[in-house]
Amino acid sequence: MNAHQQRKALLRREWLFTVAVALALLVALVWGGIAKPLGDVLYDHFMRLHGFKSTQDIVIVAVDDRTLSDLGGWPLKRDRYTQLLEALDDDRYRPKVIGFDFLFLDPTPDDPELAKQMLRHNTVLPLEFSIQEDAKQTLSNILPAQPLDSAATIGHINLSFDSDGVIRGVQLANEKWPHFSLALHAKSNSAHPPNLTQSGYRRFRMVDPRVGFPMVSLADAIHNNFTRTLLKDKYVLVGVTAPSLGDRYPTLYSGKNNASTPGVAILASILNASLDQALIQEAPAWVVCALALAPLLAMLQSLLYLRPRYALLLASLMMLAGVALSYALLTLANYWIDPIPFILVAILIQPLWAWRRLEAMVHLIDDKAADLQQFPSTARHNSSIRHSREVVLNYAKLLDHAVASARSELDFLSTVVDEIPDAVAIFDPQDQLLLCNQKIKQLIATEQLEGLHSLADLAQHLHVPLSTLAATAHDDDTHPAPATFQIESLLGPRELLIKTANIASPSGGQLRLIILTDITDLRQSQMQRDRALQFLSHDMRTPVASILSLLRPTPQETSEHIQQRAKISYHAKALLHMMDDFILTISAEASSYKVKQELLDNLLNDAIEQVVDLAQEKNITLSDDSGSSSLFVMAQTRLLVRALVNILFNAVKFSPAGSKVSIQVTHTANQATITVRNPVHAQTDAHDLTPSMPGFGLGLNFVDIVIHKHQGTITRNIPPHGMATTLITLPCTTN
């Protein structure tokens, strides 16, 4: 695993740890109810921001301080409520429905008449729940006194307090009894009556006491005809508002107004929500988690791929979007989704991820700095590290030191590249220029060098085909064959040799290395060599051949002249042979041969014919035991024949007079083997097999080079005495 993969794996582990913590926090905040108090605070702000719109169809008949003063203290006699119902029993004043926010539990003499008047109106009365002293603490209901319980519809008025003691919602049904306000709504024969069979907790918009509902005093409603006209076709709730009676409860406006809300106003708020079909449903925990999960995962993903500032900005935008969406659903769809769990997780995850990422980076800096110190360096940055009391500053200084060391190494490598005698350019996998040395500037003008950005630019400036520079190595050839071309450089006409290679990049991919070698001087030397060879092979041979032609015998020659002519002829022929040997030696060392298909028997016969005279002088028999065969080899004829001649010459030279040299050719499917055997003198030095006769001075090195250049092999077994064996193998074909 390379360094990048190690860093990626470490950061991925830290990210997975952060994701696990985030999900655990979300579950704890939602299902554990930890975030609910903050969510309730936000809900209260939303409610106050949106405001309260009360319907004019609800009127509160208040038992206020003036009522207590005029009608005779608390509790009021029930005949006062009878008087109210009698006064309203007129089509000019009759309400839609009347609800009494009083518990008529104890019977009184006034109850029969009150029940009689209730039957003339749509009346609703509350009941009371008492807690049983059993293990389950079950509730038992206490109905109003008879005959009131049968004269009116019954509903419960139990209040639902949240964990902070504030009333924000209501149970629609309790022990199968519908809520008092819903019973009022249903009693009025409304076009959209509530479903009294539904149950569960619902929130509602609480009345702002400063706005309130239309309110009249009970005393005025009994004695004042004009006041009673305000109650016609209204939902009338009769309840206590006098502060001294204590029927007040904390609501979301209590802290703002420094006062609690009367219970009858709370009932009116519930009725108002039912009439507007605006009871608020609270999203269950799984919905809150599901809706928070998508932005949370997006935010967590951004921690990996975005810079910290952008990740923080995205998290802030998501939190604002969550708040805005929650407000929109609350005000438009009467659906409350608490955004606080997501906001808290987003706020807590940012420092947590910053800590874990910083911890991971500090760990990596520490490890990589230690690795850098252990790395063998040629030009290490040797400045000392001054420690600070601040831990982060210590690691920052350590990073500075590591960067300075790496920069020193890069400067050194850049200097080395600049000092390379050849022009060097390195390109990335997209053929964009990464690095070039100073030698490039000697080939390309400065103004052109500024426009050198890619491999195509280099090919254009050098006036060579792009395919020449873009040649890449094959699977079985690490270094492609070099190519040469001529350019007009700042130094004049130059001939360059192109070499290309692929380098594995540490970060992945292949880098392209282009090396331009100036071979102008080498080419000039080659041309001089070629001219010298031409001079030797043609110009010098012509006068020597002329000398030999002039040495023809004449009738008037004396014996002294004949001896002189023989000496001159000997030395002239020796000179020709030496020139031939020199040319053959140079030709044998060529990088490649021009070959053609030749019959192996013809090559052997040519070689034997050149050695047969020497063999006859020593009375040695040359025996070709292979017989005729149709084996063909790809050969440079002159060089391969001369190599075979040298092998046979050595065999003849070091064999005793009257002996036999055998030559045998065998073959397999694609290989021919030439075996030469000859007896060896007892005094023969196995390491001194270089012929000394003029015309055969190329030596064994020449033979080895020629055989190997023909993709063959040669082995020699020359014992101190006995039979010497030389084996030559050559690739062949048969027709």
Q: Given a cut of 90, is residue 63 above it in pLDDT?
A: yes
> Residue 225's CB: how many other CB atoms inside 10 A?
11
Q: What is the DSSP letter of 435?
A: E
CA gap 416, 402 in Å, rounded: 21
CA atoms 156, 162, 163, 165: torsion sign = negative
Amino acid, res. 294 = A
Candidate from 46-60, 399-413, 541-555, 607-621 with smallest mean pLDDT: 541-555
Whether 461 and 481 map to the same domain: the answer is: yes
Whether 471 and 573 map to the same domain: the answer is: no
Segment 700-705 shows an average pLDDT of 86
Does some domain include residue 203?
yes
Among 126-140, 235-249, 460-474, 579-593, name the most confident range: 235-249
Whether 87 and 225 map to the same domain: the answer is: yes
Whether 137 and 212 map to the same domain: the answer is: yes
Does some domain include residue 414?
no
Whether 615 and 705 map to the same domain: the answer is: yes
Whether 629 and 698 map to the same domain: the answer is: yes
Domain boundary pick from 343, 367, 391? 367
- Cα 589 from chain centroid? 55
CA gap 521, 528 in Å, rounded: 11
- Which residues are 173's β-sheet partners? 178
Does some domain include residue 358?
yes
CB 193 within 8 A of CB 153: no
Residue 179 CB partners (closer than 8 Å, separation 6+): 155, 156, 157, 170, 171, 172, 173, 270
Classify 666 as helix, strand or coil: strand
CB 216 within 8 A of CB 151: no
pLDDT bin (cut points 50, 70, 90) of residue 475 is: very low
pLDDT of residue 691: 40
> Residue 598's CB: how many other CB atoms inside 10 A?
18
CB 46 within 8 A of CB 327: yes
CB 221 within 8 A of CB 231: yes
Segment 344-366 shows an average pLDDT of 81
Specify the higher pLDDT residue, 195 or 490: 195
Residue 256 CB partners (closer than 8 Å, separation 6+): 48
Does some domain include residue 566?
yes
Whether 72 and 210 map to the same domain: the answer is: yes
Whether 540 and 606 map to the same domain: the answer is: no
Segment 689-716 shows an average pLDDT of 72
Taking CB atoms within 8 Å and a gap of at least 24, the contacts of 332-337 are: 334/278, 334/279, 334/280, 334/281, 335/280, 335/281, 335/283, 336/43, 336/203, 336/280, 336/281, 336/282, 336/283, 337/283, 337/287, 337/288, 337/291
Does some domain include residue 375?
no
pLDDT of residue 694: 41
Whether 168 and 92 map to the same domain: the answer is: yes
Whether 621 and 723 map to the same domain: the answer is: yes
CA atoms 76, 78, 82, 85: torsion sign = positive
Q: Given a cut of 60, is residue 271 above it in pLDDT?
A: yes
Segment 684-689 shows an average pLDDT of 45
pLDDT of residue 179: 92
Query: Tell me, what CATH number does 449's domain have?
Result: 3.30.450.20
Does some domain include residue 412?
no
pLDDT digits (tens, 9 = 90+) for 295-314: 999 988 888 888 888 888 99
CB 455 within 8 A of CB 431: yes
Candidate from 361-370, 577-586, 621-630, 685-694 with smallest mean pLDDT: 685-694
pLDDT of residue 119: 93
Whether 580 and 469 map to the same domain: the answer is: no
CB 148 within 8 A of CB 125: yes
pLDDT digits (tens, 9 = 90+) for 710-722: 889 999 988 888 8
Q: Given a cut of 80, is residue 217 above it in pLDDT?
A: yes
Whether 90 and 187 map to the same domain: the answer is: yes
Does some domain include residue 452?
yes
Candidate from 94-103, 377-386, 508-517, 590-599 with smallest mean pLDDT: 377-386
pLDDT digits (tens, 9 = 90+) for 98-142: 999 999 989 999 999 999 999 999 999 999 887 777 666 677 788
Range of the domain at 306: 3-48+283-367
CB 185 within 8 A of CB 271: yes
Mean pLDDT of the chain: 82
Segment 242-256 shows an average pLDDT of 84
For the chain, how many structural domains are there in total? 5
pLDDT bin (cut points 50, 70, 90) of residue 323 is: very high
CA distances from 419 to 399, 424, 512, 719 (A): 30, 10, 20, 54
Q: What is the pTM of this model?
A: 0.56
Does some domain include residue 174?
yes
